[in-house]
């Protein structure tokens, strides 16, 4: 034996409370060997060491209440999992060590943890005898594997994620098939029985190529078993004089390190089946890990001391990191819970969606066991593909596998490219909801009204409803949820909840709770479903919640509107209920639902139009129903960014249909061009380290919660801060350098189109449209100010044709004259002459009584083209005058889309008009007095050319009333008639 010692340092305090002197300690490297993590069953803390500076203090994680018995690091080293005697399994961000969640709990101590190759699945086991397979995407328990009769001490996923191997304290090894959860092979008593001594553990380990499973033998040796048949292949037997208690493969699978109860560590050359080096220690080495990068082995003993054995393999031999097998894993991104690329997976994925095939890819040709061939192989044989037939039974399975690998390599590549790359259609999701996190609060709904949160506790959930505006919203008491609701929708009138199928009858529950019950009388408790109380003392009828149960049919998405509730189910049924619980309609949709949202009488639904394209593009379709009239108002394809999925869907505060995809692009539906989606925001222009979780939007702002990457959704606590972002079109870089003004111009135009649509709808319904007049006029005035600033930029950039195009888009006659004054101040007489011609043509057309003005606002969907009646005197006098006198004396006129405001009194109109004219005349005169070009270049200072007016500038007169004279010395002007006014203007 070589006299070479490995220096060990204390990482954890030793404990002799078990009577045997020592505790089981764990040790693991991260993927790049930047950190070394240690833990001990006698210490509730976890230590993260810097292997390059072993003398420096480690980072300590203290979250367990008792000793840590197992640790595991996700394949991409973004997450650390730990199990403890305190029965809990916790997740941390790595390497920061920030605590994330208690992902599961057992009734007895944990003994073993393991991630699969993709990190999408975490296996946990211990003294409970059952093995939990945990979906790391949402923390749900995908399956519990039961078959062991003693504490499970070792777990190992095979590198191909087809099998899971487990071993218990009695020495029994079980091979599990992941996709079905069935037991393939049970090898009883093939490993030592460790009894109740948990200072050492029985372990199993797959070779890096996944061909063999190494198990401690009964003769102080290591036995190798075939991955498919579980047949014994060979054993490694050397100078261990007591049973082996731990083993670890080198990264390339050429070497194996074994430690025994005899306190020896042996290094084996597996191909030659002989040991090449060994080391004697003072105490039993209970855990080892090969360094992923370099020729070194980390070891830790039962007394909590760890060290690094450098140059394990002699330099004359092949390096342990040379020719590492490349298994071409379909997903090696690591833990999906923290990974950006995999957020589109369903939070309720079944076990068949997990592991390496967790993205809906078809199972590739694999080396299945001889005794039970896979359905995939049988299908191949049924198709007449004899070349894929299994080898004769007498032939060694391992040898056959190697032959298959060589002969089918090329064929497999072509087939894998088809089967493994098949994209998966996006699962249904609820807008404003976050994934369920065990032990933490999560959002069932978060919108512009408020939020609904839930947290699981002792087998049931606690639900709370909060309103953003606490002054207007009712006070809603918290609710104990015994159904396990996973989705909800919220508006001002009530909330609706639903859960997935549960119980023996596989029933899904839909429940509606109106707020009127709690708002009218909080003293009345909620009793039975569909029950109505009569409040004699309070003079009101109070309706409690109602619920519906669907047997064998699962609710996927819920939505709320004015006096209706909607649920879309797994049968592609759209079920519509009244607010009182009456079942009104059941419709069949064309495809699986993706999401839905409600706004007043409208229900918008997104479904899959067809399978995904080979480019992984989702093919989505949207439909908008009017529940009150029973009609479908809109239908079409929903555009999203190539390669993305839908992340949010809903209505703006004004009722515009909107969507937001995973690439960060917000789109809003408009009636322009026959119905189109306008991209109004792109996260790519924001900060690179931020993700935006959308809550809602209005005409000018996006309401969202900013999440620091890699997080895609906020935590409930602390309460998230709502951020307002400006809407902005993805415009090309302008040669004027005025992208902000051009963006404002397009936004104003879009808002005018939306206002026009709303006014038309109200007029069609026989409603008064005066409530929209203020909003419409203010938008038009803002648009004129924006156009004037754009004209100034064009003049400074020598874009005179563009300036002429812009002046034709001005709505106010005063604004046109202001533009003339502007270009005159900039000493552009030719352009001023063109502007004068535009003004003369407009006034001439108005004088002729044309039904539409010559302004091309109709080409850009301006709100309304009003009939215009202009006096001949005004037309003849003003067309020949552009001097200051005319500008200061003429009254402002609307010659394009016109929206007026109702004044409180005729006297107010006089004062308002006088003040407005004085203000506008002074500002325009400033330009005439020789404002510098440099001042005009400043877009902010151009806002001095005010075209807005006070709310009482133009009075809507009642029937048989006349417009009051505006001044004794002013020429009385007749304003054009407004088609939206109910009253007549004389």
Residue 654 has pLDDT above 50, yes or no: yes
The tally of CA atoms less than 13 A away on the side-chain side of residue 785 is 21
The string of pLDDT tens digits covering residues 419-447 is 444 568 899 999 999 988 777 889 999 99
The tally of CA atoms less than 13 A away on the side-chain side of residue 312 is 34
Helix (H) or strand (E) holding 138: none
pLDDT of residue 336: 43
Q: How far apart are CA 337 and CA 946, in angstroms?
A: 54
Mean pLDDT of all residues in 789-800: 90
Q: How do 110-115 and 121-126 pair as beta strands?
A: antiparallel
Nearest to 498 by CA among 433, 448, 414: 433
Q: How far apart are CA 287 and CA 133, in angstroms?
A: 23
Residue 587 has pLDDT above 50, yes or no: yes
The string of pLDDT tens digits covering residues 905-957 is 333 433 343 444 444 444 444 444 434 444 444 434 444 334 333 333 333 33
Burial zone of 528 (CB within 10 Å; 0-12 exposed, 13-18 middle, 19+ buried) = exposed
Q: How far apart are CA 175 and CA 186, in angstroms?
A: 6
Alpha helices in 571-629 (DSSP H): none
The string of pLDDT tens digits covering residues 38-71 is 999 999 999 999 988 878 899 999 999 999 999 9
Categorize the per-residue pLDDT at 542 as very low, low, confident or very high, splitting at 50, 70 and 90: low
31 three-class SS = coil
Residue 700 has pLDDT above 90, yes or no: no
Q: How far apart are CA 814 and CA 784, in angstroms?
A: 10
Which of 234-248, 464-478, 944-958 is modeled with the greatest confidence? 234-248
- Write the DSSP assignment of 653-713 as a string of letters: TT--EEEEETTSEEEEEESGGGSEEEEEEEGGGS-TTEEEEEEEE-SSEEEEEEEETT--S
Cβ–Cβ under 8 Å, residues 698 and 654: yes
Residue 269 has pLDDT above 80, yes or no: yes
Percent of the chain with pLDDT over 90: 47
Query: Whole-prediction pTM value?
Result: 0.48
Categorize the per-residue pLDDT at 241 as very low, low, confident or very high, splitting at 50, 70 and 90: very high
Q: How far apart are CA 351 and CA 462, in angstroms?
A: 27
Cβ–Cβ under 8 Å, residues 216 and 256: no
Helix (H) or strand (E) holding 343: none
E strand residue ranges, 152-253: 152-157, 163-168, 173-177, 183-187, 205-206, 212-216, 222-226, 232-236, 244-249
Residue 692 has pLDDT above 80, yes or no: yes
Mean pLDDT of all residues in 600-629: 92
For residue 41, the tally of other CB atoms under 10 A from its CB is 28
């Amino acid at each position: 034996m070589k006299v070479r010692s490995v220096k060990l340092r204390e990482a954890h305090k030793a404990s002799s409370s078990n009577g045997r002197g020592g505790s089981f300690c764990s040790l693991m490297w991260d993927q790049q060997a930047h950190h070394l993590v240690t833990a001990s069953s006698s210490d509730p803390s976890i230590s993260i060491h810097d292997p390059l500076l072993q003398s420096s203090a480690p980072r300590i994680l203290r979250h367990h209440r008792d000793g840590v018995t197992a640790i595991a690091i996700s394949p991409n080293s973004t997450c650390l999992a730990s199990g403890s005697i305190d029965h809990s399994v916790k997740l941390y961000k790595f390497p920061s060590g920030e605590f994330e969640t208690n992902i599961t709990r057992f009734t007895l101590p944990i003994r073993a943890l393991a991630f699969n190759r993709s990190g999408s699945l975490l296996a946990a086991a211990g003294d409970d005898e059952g093995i939990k397979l945990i979906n790391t995407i949402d923390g749900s328990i995908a399956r519990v594997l039961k078959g062991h009769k003693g504490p499970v001490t070792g777990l190992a996923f095979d590198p191909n994620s087809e099998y899971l191997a487990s071993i218990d304290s009695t020495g029994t090894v079980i091979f599990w098939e992941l996709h079905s959860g069935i037991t393939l092979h049970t090898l009883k008593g093939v490993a030592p029985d460790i009894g109740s001594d948990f200072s050492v553990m029985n372990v199993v380990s797959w070779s890096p190529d996944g061909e063999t499973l190494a198990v401690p033998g009964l003769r102080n040796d290591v036995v190798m078993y075939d991955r498919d048949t579980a047949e014994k292949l060979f054993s490694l037997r050397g100078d261990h004089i007591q049973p082996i208690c731990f083993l670890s493969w080198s990264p390339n699978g050429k070497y194996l390190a074994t430690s025994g109860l005899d306190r020896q560590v042996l290094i084996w050359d597996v191909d030659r089946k002989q040991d090449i080096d060994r080391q004697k220690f003072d105490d039993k080495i209970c855990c080892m890990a090969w360094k992923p990068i370099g020729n070194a082995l980390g070891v830790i003993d039962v007394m909590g001391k760890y060290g690094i054995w450098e140059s394990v393999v002699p330099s004359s031999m092949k390096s342990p990191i040379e020719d590492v097998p490349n298994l071409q894993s379909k997903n090696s991104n690591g833990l999906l819970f923290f990974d950006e690329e995999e957020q589109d997976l369903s939070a309720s994925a079944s076990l068949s969606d997990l592991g390496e095939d967790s993205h809906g890819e078809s199972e590739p040709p694999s080396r299945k066991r001889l005794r039970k061939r896979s359905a995939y192989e049988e299908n191949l044989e049924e198709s007449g593909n004899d070349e894929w037939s299994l080898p004769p039974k007498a032939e060694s399975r391992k040898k056959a596998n190697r032959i298959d690998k060589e002969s089918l390599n090329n064929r497999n590549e072509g087939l894998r490219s088809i089967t493994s790359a098949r994209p998966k259609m996006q699962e249904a999701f609820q807008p404003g909801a976050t994934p369920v996190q065990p032990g933490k609060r999560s959002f069932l709904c978060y919108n512009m009204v408020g939020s609904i949160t839930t947290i699981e506790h002792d087998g049931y959930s606690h639900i709370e409803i909060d309103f953003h505006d606490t002054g207007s919203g009712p006070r809603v008491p918290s609710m104990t949820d015994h159904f396990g609701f996973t989705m909800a929708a919220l508006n001002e009138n009530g909330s609706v909840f639903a859960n997935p199928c549960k119980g023996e009858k596989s029933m899904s529950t839909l429940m509606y709770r109106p707020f009127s019950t709690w708002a009218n009388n909080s003293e009345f408790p909620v009793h039975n479903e569909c029950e109505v109380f009569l409040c004699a003392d309070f003079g009101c009828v109070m309706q409690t919640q109602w619920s519906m149960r669907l047997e064998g049919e699962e609710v996927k998405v819920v939505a709320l509107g004015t006096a209706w509730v909607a649920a879309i189910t797994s049968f592609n049924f759209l079920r519509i209920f009244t607010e009182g619980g009456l079942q009104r309609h059941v419709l069949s949709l064309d495809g699986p639902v993706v999401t839905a949202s409600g706004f007043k009488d409208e229900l918008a639904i997104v479904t899959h139009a067809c399978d995904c394209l080979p480019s992984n593009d989702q093919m989505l379709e949207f439909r908008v129903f009017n529940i009150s009239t029973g009609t479908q108002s809109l239908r079409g394809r929903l555009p999203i960014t190539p390669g993305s999925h839908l992340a949010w869907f809903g209505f703006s505060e004004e009722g515009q249909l909107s969507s937001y995809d995973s690439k960060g692009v917000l789109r809003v539906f408009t009636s322009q061009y026959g119905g189109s989606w306008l991209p109004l925001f792109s996260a790519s222009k924001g900060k690179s380290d931020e993700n935006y979780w959308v809550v809602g939007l209005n005409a000018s702002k996006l309401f969202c919660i900013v999440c620091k990457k890699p997080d895609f959704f906020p935590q409930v606590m602390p309460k998230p801060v709502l951020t307002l972002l400006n809407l902005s079109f993805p415009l090309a870089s302008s040669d004027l350098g005025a992208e902000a003004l051009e963006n404002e111009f397009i936004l104003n135009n879009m808002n005018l189109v939306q206002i026009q649509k709303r006014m038309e709808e109200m007029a069609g319904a026989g409603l008064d449209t005066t409530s929209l007049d203020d909003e419409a006029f203010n938008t038009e005035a803002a648009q004129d100010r924006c156009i004037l600033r754009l004209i100034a930029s064009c003049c400074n950039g020598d874009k005179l044709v563009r300036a002429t195009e812009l002046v034709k888009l001005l709505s106010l006659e005063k604004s046109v004259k202001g533009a003339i004054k502007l270009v005159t101040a900039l000493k552009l007489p030719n352009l001023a002459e063109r502007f004068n011609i535009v003004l003369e043509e407009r006034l001439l057309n108005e004088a002729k009584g044309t039904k539409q003005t010559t302004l091309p606002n109709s080409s850009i969907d301006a709100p309304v083209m009003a009939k215009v009646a202009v006096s001949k005197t005004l037309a003849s006098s003003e067309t020949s005058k552009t001097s200051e006198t005319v500008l200061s004396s003429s009254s402002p006129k609307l010659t394009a889309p016109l929206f007026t405001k109702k004044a409180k009194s005729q006297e107010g109109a006089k004062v308002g008009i006088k003040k407005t004219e004085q203000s506008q005349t002074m500002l325009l005169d400033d330009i005439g007095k020789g404002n510098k070009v440099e001042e005009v270049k400043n877009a902010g200072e151009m806002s001095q050319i005010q075209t807005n007016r006070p709310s009482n500038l133009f009075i809507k007169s009642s029937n048989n009333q006349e417009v009051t004279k505006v001044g004794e010395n002013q020429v009385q002007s007749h304003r054009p008639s407004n088609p939206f006014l109910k009253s007549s203007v004389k």
